[in-house]
Amino acid sequence: MPNSFLTQSNLEPAEPRVEKVFQRLQGGILKGHGRDHTVQLFFRFPGNTAQAKALVKALTAKVTSMTQQLADSAAFKSGETTRPFCSLFLTAKGYKALGFSAAKLAAAFPEPPSPIQLPPQVKFADGMAKHGPELGDPAPATWEPGYADAAGAAVIDGMVLLANDSLPALEFAAWDAGRILTSGGAETLVTQAGLALFNKDKSQNLEHFGYVDGRSQPTYLKADRDREEHQLGGVSPWDPAEPVGRVLVPDALAPAADAAHSFGSYLVYRKLDQNVKGFKSKEQDVADALGLTGVAREVAGAYAVGRFEDGTPVVVRDRDGLNLPVPNNFVFSGPAGADPSGGKCPFHAHVRKVSPRGDTAGDPDNALERSHRITRRGITYGTRAVEPKDDPTIDQMPTGDVGLLFMCFQASIDNQFAFMQRAWANSVGFVKPGTGLDPVIAQPAGTVPVPQKWPNPYGTPAGATVGFESFVTLRGGEFFFCPSLPFLKSL
Ligand code: HEM
């Protein structure tokens, strides 16, 4: 029987049913943890099942519930130092190492076919390495060591994510988690640090190409939607609220007594390396092709991303500066559509590819488009001599070893992340024939790119033609499940 909780949106933490769910749910899913530093420990369980279970129990003591996350965040706002945030994730391989049979896992993670099923289905049960052909990914044998074995097979059983604003406190927590893993007989395969980047006044997160990131997200709490409505620019025509079923699924392996209130979520993790110099040079090529001069050249990058570096949506205007607050209340097509022809924000722009906001034919209320929405919780990684906020010259920009630890939660990997990557970003024919690839994230393996068309002047589609893609490279990744606390405690 479907769990009626999943149809709810705009949750109020004090409501009794919500309270019960939040006590059992890991933090970070319905709301980002918001910390500036992270460490992720990817590990393989010891061969002995009882030892693996004991290890999960020991790690579970560190995990932050949603209830705790909200309390910590309130304490932080009133100036208190808070404990490190912690989440624990398992792969399908990890569940097997904990003694669950293939049949038990198939029943617990049903992964029903998607409404538009692209063959073959991308499944949590298989792990990410197996789905390279569908996602256009480089071969797992070329990934960084620890994410797959030399033959390209999956090796990871689980991942601990730690986050805090205090680096010394985080380093201690990472040392402590590493100690628990080692003494529990596990092998730490990868230790990956994340470090948030900010704009000059620290009001927004940036990614390494220099753009405000993390602005447009589904909201699940009433307080978060209220903030959008009253402080951040409104919720019509674009309402950010989603039902929790967009991101949560029942945790079928939770003990029966807790079943009605135990939920989890699928997590996709991808280490995406960014060639900043290559991307920013290509922006200049587009500006040259459009004959732009001076500050007007900035619009070239905005046409690739869909927003200016300061977050101003290019669909709203042809120059930056509309960032207090950064707008998100717009749709591209439909009755309130700001740009049905793609003359302001080209159809290939990253934000338009991954969130078409009304462009899909035959989807008048956007229900189909919205069903693919993901909940992004990534963080940047890598250090550089000159940060994006300090306006580096082209020669000061890195060609790699910096990027995004992309993470997103969803109720179905196939219908959400994988659909977005393969049917939208990697498809030259989405949203219409000749659109071209997403210039930011397309993985063109197996696809023949077609040069994208760029507005010229602003408002006029298809003014110039320039090919733009492939400055982001997958270095490793995996599919995880974020189990409920009652399940973790039951082992
Ligand atoms: C290094 C890789 C990436 C970079 C540099 C990047 C950059 C950005 C930027 C600058 C924005 C606009 C700000 C915002 O609304 O948050 C954005 C939005 C977004 N990105 Fe990415 N992104 C990357 C990877 C991905 C991947 C792999 C996906 C999914 C397959 C994705 C999905 C999205 C979505 C869904 C949005 C919000 C769109 C909206 O609702 O308007 N991104 N990204």
**pLDDT digit string, tens, across residues 277-311:** 999 999 999 999 999 999 999 999 999 999 999 99
Q: Given pLDDT bands bounded at 50, 70 and 90, which one contains residue 447?
A: confident
Q: Domain for residue 412, yes or no?
A: no
Which ligand 1 atom lies nearest to the CA of residue 214? 16
Model pTM above 0.75: yes
**Does 440 sit in the ligand 1 pocket, CB within 6 Å?**
yes
Q: Domain for residue 16, yes or no?
A: yes
Provide the 3-class DSSP secondary structure of residue 394: helix
Query: Do 125 and 210 belong to one domain?
Result: yes
- Helices marked H in 329-433: 350-354, 367-371, 419
CA of 305 from ligand 1 middle (Å) equals 8
Query: Do 203 and 324 belong to one domain?
Result: no
Q: Give me the chain's average pLDDT, please.
A: 96
Catalytic residues: 226
Query: Do 50 and 98 belong to one domain?
Result: yes
Taking residues 447-460, what's their average pLDDT? 92
Per-residue confidence (pLDDT) for residue 2, from 0 to 100: 60
Q: Domain for residue 243, yes or no?
A: yes
Instruction: Name the residue type at position 304.
Output: A
Q: Domain for residue 401, yes or no?
A: no
Per-residue confidence (pLDDT) for residue 391, from 0 to 100: 96
Query: Do 182 and 63 belong to one domain?
Result: yes
**Does 248 sit in the ligand 1 pocket, CB within 6 Å?**
no
Per-residue confidence (pLDDT) for residue 161, from 0 to 100: 98
| Domain count along the chain | 2
Residue with the nearest Cα to atom 25 of ligand 1? 441
Q: Phi-psi category of 146—alpha, beta or left, where left has phi over 0 and alpha has psi -120 to 50?
A: left
Query: Do 331 and 223 belong to one domain?
Result: no
Per-residue confidence (pLDDT) for residue 73, from 0 to 100: 93
Query: Two tokens at 441?
Result: 């994230």
| Beta carbons within 8 Å of 335's beta carbon, 6+ residues apart | none
Instruction: Give the C-alpha separation, 254 to 90, whole Å.
Output: 14
Query: Do 182 and 42 belong to one domain?
Result: yes
Query: Do 123 and 210 belong to one domain?
Result: yes
Per-residue confidence (pLDDT) for residue 200, from 0 to 100: 96
Range name among 117-121, 198-202, 446-450 with the lowest pLDDT average: 446-450
**Does 472 sit in the ligand 1 pocket, CB within 6 Å?**
yes
Residue with the nearest Cα to atom 20 of ligand 1? 351
Which neighbouring-strand residues pair with 163? Answer: 38, 85
Which neighbouring-strand residues pair with 273? Answer: 403, 473
Query: Is the model's pLDDT at 81 over the cut of 90?
Result: no
What is the extent of the structural domain holding 305? 275-374+426-475
Q: What percent of the chain has pLDDT over 90?
A: 95
CA of 213 from ligand 1 middle (Å) equals 7
Q: Domain for residue 34, yes or no?
A: yes
Query: Do 331 and 199 belong to one domain?
Result: no
Query: Is the model's pLDDT at 170 over the cut of 90?
Result: yes
* CA nearest neighbour of 483 among 43, 58, 90: 90
Query: Do 184 and 300 belong to one domain?
Result: no
CA of 216 from ligand 1 middle (Å) equals 9
- Sign of the Cα torsion 386, 389, 394, 400 reads positive
Q: Are 103 and 112 in contact (CB under 8 A)?
A: no
Query: Do 233 and 281 belong to one domain?
Result: no
Q: Are 430 and 372 in contact (CB under 8 A)?
A: no
Query: Is the model's pLDDT at 110 over the cut of 80?
Result: yes
Query: Do 262 and 136 belong to one domain?
Result: yes
Per-residue confidence (pLDDT) for residue 364, from 0 to 100: 84
Range name among 5-9, 40-44, 197-201, 442-446 with the lowest pLDDT average: 442-446
Query: Do 256 and 329 belong to one domain?
Result: no
